[in-house]
Structure 1
């Protein structure tokens, strides 16, 4: 019995895998080396990685991180509204204050992480000026 002939197609090698890049960016690290910081201060993207020299001047995160942060926080808060009212039925003022503090805190926590992930996504997919080698 003979084996059927198989053809091997060479698949393109992904030298910038998306998963590790997003994880590194979410942690605030360089998506290329994972060592250098991608943000200076709270939301300012560094011009280049201090460890590997990766250039970040091409990044165009713009309003994407804020939009995604609002989307995530809004869904979490909507779930918490339902949960709090179903379980405890607190006074409206207590509920409003609790959820306001939660929304602000969660937004402040997520925004720089989402921005780092956005820059890492652009780097990984060679968007904008990241298409060079």
Structure 2
């Protein structure tokens, strides 16, 4: 039996909600996404610091990934995923707001890892979160 020298990776979310005005539906949907993504066996470690803008922590820039980085020695790719306060506070469909943004952030990090790590199977990694582009289940 061959044992891989590389430990399996994981996905972690550290989340800050921007105040009491953040809709419960947004918090619930992000919690569902985290629960579905965390147990997957990743090739690399991915760490997202997620800021969900609200009435107290106001995010004015467009929703998206900021400060992406790859730490080869630690086998971790990380970045800050920020959700615009106006988008969060006005959404009527939290899944339509959250899912594409999480997908795009992970896709960006996977692309960065693939550019720096020989043999990294980006398509296999992308398949883990492809469901984020589909209909919520």
Q: Shared topology, TM-score over 0.5?
A: no
- Structure whose residues are more often strand by fraction: 2
| Higher CA-based Rg | 1
- Structure whose residues are more often helix by fraction: 1
Bigger relative contact order (CA 8 A; separation at least 6): 1
TM-score (norm 2): 0.30
TM-score (norm 1): 0.31
